[in-house]
Amino acid sequence: MSFDSPLALVALVAVPVLVALYVLHERRRRAAGARFAALGLLPNLLEHVPGWRRHLPIALLLVALAAMIVGVARPHATVSVPRKDATVLLALDVSRSMSATDVRPSRIQAAKAAAAKFLTEVPKTFRVGIIAIGSNATVVLPPTTDRALATSALATLRRSEGTVLGDAVALSVDVGRRQRTSSGETIPTAVLVISDGSDQGSRLKPQAAATRARAAHIPVYTTLVGTQNGIVTRALTGGYQEQIRVPANPATLRTIAQSSGGEFFQAPTAEKLRDVYKQLGTRLGHHKESREISDAFAGGAALLLLAGGALSALWFRRLP
């Protein structure tokens, strides 16, 4: 918490001073009462002793005073508020290994379905772009707020060879840097990579691409699709088929996320993958902002004053 007028907080010294004066007053009052009656006879003179209830209204008054002083200092707190404008770049792996069926109905279909679900979680004012990761990194859809167009672009993704993860991250960063508001301000951008983890044929290493993303303040979130039991089938001449093991490899995706300032998710099933996107949509939809909260302290002080006055009037027929 920060304050616009921190010198006003010096007035808080008055609170312990008033507490000390109140304690001194109570001691003198008891001493004065003891001079006029024997302590053993006091229970016969009073039906009941108020005890802690007599001090509660004063305590509420002092807390209200402290709250008012803090409010005068104009405090600011960092709060999470909905983001109105941002860009999310979805980078989907469309390599041959994504046709493995260890995630039903297949890795690529599960990734597409989850990405479509993610589009419903992202605020409608956000721009969403789609990048295909195959033998080359390609912008399938430039950032747009048109969700129908984004859904159609996901459906058009076709299988490719290779997995140039490093080039895809670098391309995403280049696209993100070009995003501007109508007034020319940079729009916050995040990249979401969906892959089974291997990097094959990138001209720019994933680590270098992630470092470039961090320098541009563009976090890269990565999601692993697939298990260690993935298998793809390739047709050979003569009508034969070859089965190739394609185990998921989280190491590269984890490195990209950590080096860029993003986060790595492991979601081996389509259901868990949808949960990841729901969680990520919530994170991207909010940002931290410093806001003045003087009104909260003023309102709290007013409520405490009313509570203290009401209790004093109810219990003792007088105001504190």
Non-local CB neighbours of 131 within 8 Å, separated by 6+ positions: 89, 90, 91, 92, 137, 138, 139, 140, 168, 171, 172, 175
Instruction: Check residue 253 and give its pLDDT.
Output: 95
Where exactly are the structural domains of the chain?
Answer: 2-78+291-316, 84-284
Instruction: Check residue 250 and give its pLDDT.
Output: 93
Instruction: Check residue 43 and give its pLDDT.
Output: 54
Instruction: Check residue 206 and give its pLDDT.
Output: 95
Instruction: Check residue 74 and give its pLDDT.
Output: 84
Report which of 47, 50, 7 is spatially closest to residue 29, judged by C-alpha positions. Answer: 50
d(CA 226, CA 246): 9
pLDDT, tens digit (0-9, with 9 covering 90-100), for 100-124: 999 888 999 988 888 888 888 788 8
pLDDT, tens digit (0-9, with 9 covering 90-100), for 8-60: 888 888 888 888 887 887 777 666 655 555 555 455 545 555 566 777 878 88
Instruction: Check residue 34 and give its pLDDT.
Output: 56
Non-local CB neighbours of 250 within 8 Å, separated by 6+ positions: 197, 224, 264, 266
CATH tag, 84-284: 3.40.50.410
For residue 62, CA distances in Å to 70, 117, 316 come to 13, 53, 18
Q: Tokens 């006055």: give the residue.
A: 309
Report which of 197, 299, 308 is spatially closest to residue 257, judged by C-alpha positions. Answer: 197
Report residue 165 as tokens. Answer: 């993860």
Report residue 26 as tokens. Answer: 């109570």
CA dihedral 124, 125, 126, 127 (to 10 degrees): 100
d(CA 167, CA 148): 27
Instruction: Check residue 119 and give its pLDDT.
Output: 86
Q: Could you report the average pLDDT of every consecutive run of 10 residues in the chain (320 residues)?
A: 82 84 76 56 51 75 86 81 81 93 89 85 87 95 94 91 94 92 80 90 94 94 90 81 88 94 79 67 68 83 82 66
